Amino acid sequence: MHKPTPRTRPGFMPPFILERIAAHGDARLKGCAQRTLEADAYFRTRRDPQIAANLALPEGSPRPGEPARYIYSADYREVLPGTLVREEGQGDTGDPAADEAYSGLGVTYRFFWEVFERNSIDDRGMPLLGTVHYGQDYENAFWNGAQMVFGDGDGELFNRFTAALDVIGHELAHGVIEREAGLVYTYQSGALNESFADVFGSLTKQYHLGQTAAEADWLIGAELLTERVQGRALRSMAEPGTAYDDPILGRDPQPGHMDDYVETEQDNGGVHINSGIPNHAFYLAAMALGGHAWDAAGLVWYDTLRDPRLAEQSDFATFAALVIDNAGRRFGNESREAAAVRDAWQAVGVTT
C-alpha cells in the first residue's frame, strides 16, 4: 500500500469556474467565489495526507462490511472537524446536509465493499468523517487527508455539495486513490487522479440506482447546478466539453481526445480539464461491454489503481497500458472485455 507524502490536495470544483464567477458574477456571487478561492488557496498549502496519521480519529469500523460514519457541522465557519451532529447508527438530524452526508458516505462505503470487498478508505475500517456547512457560501468540497468537507454552495448557481451522491463518492474516492496510488496532483497524473474519482463517483451513483451503463447519465455533479445555470452538470463522461455553456461559468473546456489535449499551467496543469480524456475512455469501455459498468470496466480500473506498477507520476499512456494489461489478466487477452478496453484507449487517441 502506498504511503502518502505531502502534496497539493484535490478539490471538486475546478478553480477556473470560480475565477470565471469572480470575474463575471454579480457582487454577491463574486464575493462567494473569491472567498472560496481564498479558502482553497489556504488549504492547498496546508492539506497534508499525514494529518490522518497524526489526528486522533474516532473509532473505526467494528466489522468489515459495516461503516463507521461521523458527521460534523462547521457551523458556517472554516473549522475542522466542527461539532459532531450524527454518528453511526443514529437517526436523521433533520439537517438535510448532515443527513445527505451520512447517507452518501454509507452508500459509497457499501459500493466499495460489495463490489471490490474494500473495507473503507484504507481497507482497514477507517472511520468516515464528513463536515458540512463549511464556511460562508463555500462553493467546493474536498478531501484533506483525514476527512471529507462539503460547502453549502451560494444557492444561486450551486446547491449544497451533499445533494450530489457522485460528489460524495468522488471525495471519498480521493482518499482511496491517495492510499493506493498516491497519484501526484499535477498534469497527467493529476488528471488521472481526478478521473479515478469521477469514475468511482459515477459508479457509486449507478450502483445505488441499479443502472446499467446504457441507463446512466454519466454526468458528474448534475445535482449541484441550480436552474439558473445553462448546463447539465460540471462534467460529462459521455460527451466531455458539453456539460455547461453559461454566461457566468463559461463553457466546459474538457477534451475527449488527445488531439484536443490542453497544455496549461492553470488548474495544476489542467487536472480538471484533461481528465475528460481518461473519463471518456472508461465510458467507451463500459458502454461497449454493456450491463453494469462496475462488473467489468470498474473491476479493471480498480485492479489498475491497486497495481504496484502504477507510479505516482504515471501519464496517460502508461496508465492505458496498465489498464489493458489488467483487462487481459482478469478476463484473458482475447476476451471481449480486453478488446473493449483496448478499443476505448485507441478511440481517445492515447494508444494507437
Q: List the catalytic residues.
A: 171, 272
Q: Report which of 172, 164, 89, 91 is spatially closest to residue 129, judged by C-alpha positions.
A: 172
Neighbour-count burial for 71-97, b at 16+ CB within 10 Å, e otherwise: bbbbeeebebbbeebbebeeeeeebeb
The count of other CB atoms within 10 Å of the CB of residue 120 is 25
Neighbouring residues of 257: CB distance < 8 A, sequence distance ≥ 6 = 277, 280, 348, 349
Residue 330 CB burial class (10 angstroms; 0-12, 13-18, ≥19): middle
Q: What are phi and psi of 158, to 5 degrees?
A: -125, 135
In whole angstroms, give the CA distance from residue 344 to residue 295: 17
Alpha helices in 160-222 (DSSP H): 165-180, 187-209
Point out which residues pair with 83 in neighbouring strands. Answer: 73
Cis peptide before 14 (omega within 30 of 0): no
State the first-to-last Cα distance of the chain, in angstroms, to the nearest integer: 32
The count of other CB atoms within 10 Å of the CB of residue 194 is 30
Residue reference for cell 462547521: 74
CB 273 within 8 A of CB 267: yes
In whole angstroms, give the CA distance from residue 320 to residue 210: 28
CB 171 within 8 A of CB 198: no
Residue reference for cell 454509507: 106
Q: What are phi and psi of 232, to 5 degrees?
A: -105, -25
